[in-house]
C-alpha cells in the first residue's frame, strides 16, 4: 500500500530550511521572543537564503501565504470590532444570567452553552474576552467563586469553536487547504460537538450541582438587572445583526455558489463598515489583531520553505511507515497526537505543519490523483476531521493550550483569583480526554464502522 | 526661591505593608499647616527609600473591580461599592499605591516645579536630595500660596 520512498538526497537548502524551521519552533514554544517576531524573522530568512523566492512566498498556493485564511480572519475581525461596542455581548450575558434565574449551576450551564454557540459563529478569543468580565461581575453579585465559571467558559469556547469552519483558526486553515466548505464542517463536526456539549453539561451538573450555592437575596440582584441597559447603540446593533445574518447565510451557501469563505467575510466587513456610517475606519482597522495575522503570514512562508525542500514529504513518509498505510490507524494517531500536541504548543503552527503533511501523505497513498480528487479523497476525509478535532479539542488540556484559556487565566488573576497551572489542568485535562474519547468513538463509528 | 524653601518636610509616611485601613487612619489624623487633612502620602520602605504614593484616588480605584467598565457598571446593585470597600480594607498599600512617582530635586526652581505639577496633573510632588533620598513634599497649594501672595502684593490692577 505504501509507495516506495523516492530517492532523497538532503542538500544544503534542505538543512538550511530545516534549521530555520526548528529554531523558529523552539523560539515560539519557549516564548523568549514574541511569536510574531519569530515568524516574521523566520519567513525573512527563508527568502534571504533563497529557499523560496518572493513570488513563491506571496503568490504560490503550495509554498506561500494562504490569503484565504488571512482575509477570512480580517473580515471577521472587522465585523466583530464593529459589533463589540454596541453592548450586544453584555446584553446576551446578562440575559443568560437572568434566564438561569440567578441559580449558580443553571447559570454555569447556560453560560457554557452560550459561549459554545458564540465561539462557533465568532472567534473564541472575542467571545471569552467579552463574556469573562460579565461572568466575574455575576459571580460577585451571587458571592460564588468565579474560577469554575471562567474555566468552563474556556472549555466551552474551545469545544464550540470546533463545530464550524470559522469557529477556530485550525478549522479555517484546514478548510482552506482541503477546500472544504462551511457546510462540510456543519455536517461532519457539529454533530460531534453537540454530543460533547451534552456531556459537558452533565459533567457541570454532576461536579457543581451540590457545591455552588447562593442566597435568595443575592439571586434577586441578578433578577433585578435590566439587560436592555447594555445596548449602547441599538441602530448599529440592528445593522450588525443584519450583516451577521447575511454573512452566516453566505457561509452556508458559499460552496454551491462557488465563493471562498474569505469573500463572504470581506463582503460582510465592507457592508457593515458602509452601513455603520463610520467616519473613522482607521480606528476599526487599527483594532484588527495584526500581530496574529503577521504570525500566520510568517508561519505560512516558513512552512512553505520546508515543504519545498522536502522535509514535510519526508515526515509524511515516516508517518505512513509508522501506521503501515492503515487509514484508521493514521486517523487515530492524528486525532490523539494533535490533541496532545495542541495542549502543549500553539495549535496554529501545528496545523500549519500538518496540513501539507496530510496532503503529501495523500499524494503517496493515491499517486494517480490530483486536485480536489486528491484533497477530498473519500478515504482522506476522516483524516482531516481527526486533525481538526484533535487540534481544537487539545487546546483544553492546559492553561496555555488555547488563546481563550490564556485570557481567562489572565483576567482571573487580575481580578485577584489566581488560577494555578494545576487547578486549570485538574478541570482541563479530564475534559480534554472526555471530548477526545467522544471524538474517537465518533470518528470510528461514523467513518470506519457504519 | 527654590523647591526646598517651600516644601513641607516628611513627618508622616506610609509603609508598603500597611493595610489600606491603617493608611486611611494615618491620613485622617495627619494635619498640615492649614489645619486640613492630607489627601495623599508618600510610601517609604524600611531603608527610607521612596517606593510610591498613596492618594485618595488610589483608594477609590482600589474598590473598582477589574472587570467593571461603563457598560457593566450600569447593572451594579445598590450597596456594591460598600461591599467592594469592605473587601479591600485589609489589602496592602503596595498593591494599590502609584509606584511610578514623579519627583523633583530640592534645588530645582519653582518654575520647574510648577511646570511638573501642571503638565503631569499632580497634586503633590515628593522632593529628593542629592542622594536620591526623599526629604519633603511640595503641594500644589503651597505653590499657589506663593503666586497668590505675589498677586496680592502688587499694586491694584487697572480695572
The answer to whether A164 and A189 have CB atoms below 8 angstroms apart is: yes
Q: Which domain holds residue B146?
A: 3-153
- Cβ of A136 within 8 Å of Cβ of B75? The answer is no
Shortest Cα distance from B74 to chain A (angstroms)? 7
What's the pLDDT tens digit per position in A61-113?
889 999 999 999 999 999 999 998 899 999 999 999 999 999 999 999 999 99
Chain mean pLDDT for chain B? 92
Q: Nearest by CB to A134, which of B66, B72, B80?
A: B72
Answer yes or no: do B72 and A229 touch at CB < 8 A.
Answer: no
Share of chain A above pLDDT 70, in %: 98
Contacts of A230 in chain B (CB under 8 A): 71, 74-75
Confidence of residue B151 (pLDDT cuts 50, 70, 90): very high
All residues of chain B having their beta carbon less than 8 Å from the beta carbon of residue A94 are: 75
Q: Tell me what pLDDT residue B105 has.
A: 96
**What was the pLDDT predicted at A344?**
87
Lowest mean pLDDT among A199-203, A236-240, B29-33, B71-75: B29-33
Q: Which three cell numbers stand for residue A229?
A: 441597559
SS3 label, residue A245? helix
pLDDT of residue A62: 87
Identify the pLDDT of residue B31.
81
CA A229 – CA A87 distance, rounded (Å): 9
Whether A379 contacts A385, CB under 8 Å: no
Output the pLDDT for position A7.
Answer: 60
Q: How far is CA A348 from CA A1, A29, A332, in A?
A: 31, 12, 20
Rg (CA), chain B: 18
Residues of A at the B interface (Cβ-Cβ below 8 Å)? 87, 90, 94, 132-134, 136-137, 140-141, 221, 224-226, 229-230, 232, 411, 414-416
Across residues A39-53, what is the average pLDDT? 96
Contact A275, A237 (CB under 8 A): no
Cell numbers that stand for B29 in this block? 489624623
pLDDT for A313-369, tens place per residue? 999 989 889 988 899 999 999 999 999 999 988 889 999 999 999 999 999 999 989
pLDDT at A3 over 60: no
Please count the structural domains in chain B: 1
pLDDT of residue B121 exceeding 50, the answer is yes
**Does some domain include residue B158?**
no
Whether B74 sits inside 8 A of A411 (CB atoms) is no
Q: What is the pTM of this model?
A: 0.86
Check A221 against B77: CB less than 8 A apart.
Answer: yes
| Contact yes or no for B84/B65 (Cβ under 8 A) | yes
Confidence of residue A6 (pLDDT cuts 50, 70, 90): low
Instruction: Identify the closest residue of chain A to B95 by CA–CA distance.
Output: A416
Whether residue B107 is predicted with pLDDT greater than 90 in this model: the reply is yes
Of B66, B75, B77, the CB nearest to A415: B66
pLDDT of residue A93: 94
State the cell numbers at B130: 542629592
Query: What is the pLDDT confidence band of residue A226, given thresholds at 50, 70 and 90?
Result: very high
SS3 content of chain B, % helix, strand, coil (to 5): 40, 20, 40
Angle at the Cα of A182 (from A178 to A185), degrees rounded to 5?
A: 75
Phi, psi at residue B137, to the nearest 5°?
-135, 140
> What is the predicted pLDDT for the residue at A271?
97
DSSP single-letter state for residue A213: -
Per-chain mean pLDDT for chain A: 93
Residue B159 is assigned to a structural domain of this protein: no
Examine the pLDDT at A277 and tell me if it is beyond 60: yes
Instruction: Cell 509507495: give the residue.
Output: A3
What is the rounded average pLDDT of the residues A289-301? 94
* pLDDT tens track for A196-217: 999 999 999 999 988 888 999 9
We report the CATH number of the domain holding residue B59 as 3.10.580.10
pLDDT at position B80: 93
Lowest mean pLDDT among A1-15, A16-30, A399-413, B134-148: A1-15
Candidates A84, A137, A410, A415: best to mutate against B (most CBs of B within 10 A) is A137
Q: What are B138's strand-pairing partners?
A: B125
State the Cα–Cα distance between residues A180 and A375, nearest whole angstrom. Answer: 9
pLDDT bracket for residue A437 (50, 70, 90) = very high
Judged against a pLDDT cut of 90, whether residue A40 lies above it is answered with yes
What is the C-alpha separation between A392 and A348, in angstroms, rounded? Answer: 10
How close is the nearest chain A Cα to the Cα of B80, in Å? Answer: 8
> What pLDDT score was predicted for residue A29?
85
Chain B residues in contact with A84 by the CB 8 A cut-off are none
Q: Is the pLDDT of residue A2 over 60?
A: no
Mean pLDDT of A425-437: 96
CB atoms within 10 A of CB A342: 27
0.90 surpassed by complex ipTM: no
Please give the share of chain B, as a percent, with pLDDT higher than 70: 99
Region B85-113 average pLDDT: 95
**Is B75–A132 a contact, with Cβ atoms under 8 angstroms apart?**
no
A4 pLDDT above the threshold of 50: no
Residue A1's pLDDT is 40
Nearest to B72 among A90, A411, A414 (CB): A90
Amino acid at each position: 500500500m505504501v509507495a516506495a520512498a523516492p530517492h532523497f538526497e538532503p542538500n544544503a537548502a534542505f538543512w538550511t530550511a530545516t534549521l530555520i524551521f526548528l529554531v523558529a519552533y523552539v523560539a515560539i514554544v519557549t516564548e523568549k521572543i514574541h511569536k510574531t517576531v519569530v515568524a516574521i524573522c523566520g519567513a525573512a530568512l527563508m527568502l534571504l537564503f533563497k529557499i523560496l523566492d518572493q513570488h513563491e512566498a506571496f503568490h504560490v498556493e503550495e509554498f506561500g501565504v494562504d490569503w484565504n485564511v488571512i482575509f477570512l480572519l480580517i473580515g471577521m475581525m472587522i465585523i466583530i470590532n464593529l459589533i463589540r461596542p454596541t453592548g450586544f455581548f453584555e446584553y446576551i450575558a446578562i440575559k443568560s444570567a437572568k434566564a438561569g434565574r440567578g441559580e449558580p449551576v443553571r447559570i454555569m450551564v447556560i453560560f457554557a452553552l452560550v459561549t459554545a454557540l458564540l465561539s462557533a459563529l465568532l472567534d473564541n478569543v472575542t467571545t471569552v474576552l467579552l463574556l469573562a468580565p460579565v461572568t466575574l461581575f455575576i459571580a460577585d453579585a451571587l458571592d460564588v467563586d468565579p474560577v469554575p465559571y471562567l474555566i468552563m467558559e474556556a472549555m466551552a469556547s474551545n469545544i464550540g469553536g470546533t463545530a464550524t469552519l470559522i469557529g477556530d483558526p485550525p478549522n479555517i486553515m484546514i478548510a482552506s487547504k482541503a477546500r472544504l466548505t462551511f457546510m462540510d464542517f456543519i455536517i461532519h463536526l457539529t454533530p460531534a460537538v453537540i454530543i460533547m456539549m451534552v456531556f459537558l453539561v452533565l459533567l457541570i451538573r454532576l461536579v457543581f450541582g451540590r457545591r455552588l450555592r447562593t442566597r435568595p437575596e443575592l439571586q434577586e440582584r441578578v433578577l433585578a438587572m435590566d439587560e436592555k441597559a447594555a445596548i449602547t447603540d441599538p441602530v448599529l446593533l440592528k445593522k450588525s445583526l443584519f450583516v451577521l445574518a447575511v454573512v452566516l447565510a453566505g457561509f452556508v451557501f458559499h460552496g454551491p455558489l462557488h465563493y471562498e469563505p474569505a469573500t463572504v467575510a470581506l463582503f460582510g466587513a465592507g457592508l457593515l463598515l458602509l452601513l455603520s456610517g463610520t467616519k473613522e475606519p482607521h480606528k476599526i482597522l487599527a483594532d484588527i489583531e495584526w500581530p496574529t495575522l503577521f504570525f500566520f503570514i510568517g508561519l505560512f512562508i516558513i512552512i512553505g520553505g520546508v515543504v519545498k525542500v522536502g522535509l514535510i514529504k519526508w515526515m509524511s513518509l515516516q508517518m505512513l511507515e509508522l501506521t503501515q498505510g492503515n487509514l484508521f490507524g493514521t486517523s487515530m494517531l492524528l486525532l490523539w497526537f494533535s490533541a496532545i500536541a495542541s495542549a502543549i504548543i500553539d495549535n496554529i503552527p501545528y496545523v500549519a505543519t500538518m496540513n501539507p503533511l496530510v496532503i503529501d501523505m495523500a499524494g503517496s497513498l493515491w499517486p494517480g490523483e490530483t486536485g480536489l480528487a486528491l484533497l477530498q479523497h473519500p478515504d482522506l476525509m476522516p483524516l482531516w476531521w481527526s486533525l481538526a478535532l484533535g487540534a481544537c479539542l487539545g487546546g483544553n488540556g492546559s492553561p496555555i493550550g488555547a488563546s481563550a484559556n490564556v485570557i481567562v487565566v489572565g483576567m482571573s488573576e487580575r481580578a485577584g483569583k489566581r488560577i494555578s497551572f494545576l487547578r486549570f489542568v485538574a478541570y482541563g485535562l479530564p475534559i480534554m480526554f472526555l471530548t477526545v474519547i467522544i471524538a474517537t468513538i465518533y470518528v470510528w463509528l461514523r467513518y470506519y464502522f457504519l | 526661591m527654590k523647591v526646598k524653601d517651600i516644601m513641607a518636610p516628611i513627618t508622616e509616611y506610609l509603609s508598603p505593608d500597611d493595610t489600606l485601613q491603617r493608611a486611611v487612619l494615618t491620613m485622617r489624623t495627619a494635619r498640615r499647616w492649614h489645619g486640613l487633612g492630607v489627601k495623599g502620602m508618600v510610601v517609604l520602605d524600611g531603608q527610607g527609600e521612596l517606593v510610591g504614593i498613596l492618594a485618595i484616588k488610589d483608594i477609590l480605584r482600589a474598590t473598582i473591580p477589574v472587570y467593571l467598565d461603563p457598560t457593566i457598571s450600569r447593572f451594579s446593585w445598590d450597596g456594591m461599592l460598600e461591599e467592594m470597600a469592605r473587601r479591600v480594607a485589609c489589602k496592602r498599600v503596595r498593591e494599590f499605591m502609584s509606584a511610578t512617582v514623579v519627583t523633583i530635586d530640592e534645588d530645582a526652581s519653582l518654575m520647574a516645579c510648577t511646570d511638573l505639577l501642571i503638565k503631569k496633573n499632580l497634586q503633590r510632588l515628593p522632593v529628593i536630595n542629592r542622594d536620591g533620598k526623599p526629604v519633603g513634599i511640595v503641594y500644589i497649594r503651597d505653590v499657589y500660596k506663593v503666586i497668590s501672595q505675589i498677586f496680592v502684593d502688587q499694586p491694584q490692577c487697572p480695572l
